[in-house]
Amino acid sequence: MNNPTVKLVQVTDCHLQNDPSQLYRNQDVESQLDQLLAHLKSTLPEETLLLLTGDIVHHGGPDAYRRLTAKLASLPFDTAWIPGNHDDADLMQACGERLNRKVIQVRGWCLILLDSTSEPDGRGSGALGQAELAFLTQALDQNSDRYCLIVLHHNPVSVESGWQDPIMLADADQFWRVLEPYSQVQGIICGHVHQEWRWQYKGVDVMSCPASSVQFKKRCDEMTLEDVPALQAPAYRLLELSECGEINSQVKRFNLAEDQNISSV
């Protein structure tokens, strides 16, 4: 029997360097991503859709994106990506081809992939801007008969952090005003914060995913790396979208040394 659920996996904030041997915050993020993708390939069904939700490259050039597209080509998964504040959106458009899709319709669901890198402030914030908000409105109008999941990089709600809240989605108020009339929006996933969160906000299930690179400690006034060993591991989020509009999801943390996973809801 054909499984009616839509299976997704979110990987975010890879921070790949232009030189693959260069560390990011003392972590070999290239190797971590390679091991994580190999694990996903060996454990997830081929019909899984892989979503890369920004900060894929850390101010890198085309070589980093080309390396990544080669890695993704070896996977059995349909894949899409969006930019984050550390990415070069123009290079992603040039290198990504099919990865750059903005709307993905699958079974009774519509995934709307947004670019939140407009109006950068130089510190990490970003916005959707009027053009992207207009696109979002159009996509929601055209998919009124489908449940919708919205995918973006910047978190559209507070994470109670003195340094992270100022660099959240800058036009979050406008974003939520756009969504208000559309009852088909069931969920939102984001990256950016390098932490696991799940909120019910204005009737919508909002989820952030920890990074494949390094994790930041929650509720800090200044940038602080995670110091709890169980929360330091690279992570990804699994989602199942049901035919009745429900979203089942869990974060899995990948133990690089032991190739084991610790799940949390």
Task: Report how far residue 153's alpha carbon sits from residue 113's, in angstroms, rounded to the nearest whole number.
Answer: 9
Map out the domains of the chain with their CATH numbers: 6-264 (3.60.21.10)
Strands (E), the chain: 6-11, 49-53, 78-82, 103-106, 109-113, 147-151, 185-190, 197-201, 204-208, 235-241, 247-255, 260-264
Question: What's the pLDDT score for residue 101?
Answer: 97
pTM attached to this predicted model? 0.95
DSSP bridge partners of 3: none
Minimal CA–CA distance to 182: which of 153, 154, 242, 142?
Answer: 142
Question: What's the pLDDT score for residue 258?
Answer: 58
What's the length of the chain?
Answer: 265
3-state secondary structure of 119: coil
Task: Report how far residue 57's alpha carbon sits from residue 61's, in angstroms, rounded to the nearest whole number.
Answer: 8
Question: What's the pLDDT score for residue 1?
Answer: 43
Question: What's the pLDDT score for residue 254?
Answer: 87
Torsion (CA) 156, 144, 104, 97 in degrees, nearest 10: -80
Q: Enumerate the H helices of the chain as residue ranges.
A: 29-43, 62-73, 89-96, 129-142, 172-179
Question: What's the pLDDT score for residue 61?
Answer: 84
| Residues of the chain scoring pLDDT < 70 | 1-3, 256-265
Question: What's the pLDDT score for residue 59?
Answer: 83
Which region, left, alpha or beta, applies to residue 166 given φ > 0 means left and ψ of -120 to 50 means alpha?
alpha
Beta-sheet strand order (sheet of 260-264): 78-82, 49-53, 6-11, 235-241, 247-255, 260-264
Task: Report how far residue 214's alpha carbon sits from residue 210's, in angstroms, rounded to the nearest whole number.
Answer: 8
Look at the block and give the residue holding tokens 């904030």. Answer: 13
Kind of pairing between the strands at 49-53 and 78-82: parallel
Question: What's the pLDDT score for residue 263?
Answer: 58
What single-letter amino acid sits at 97?
A: E
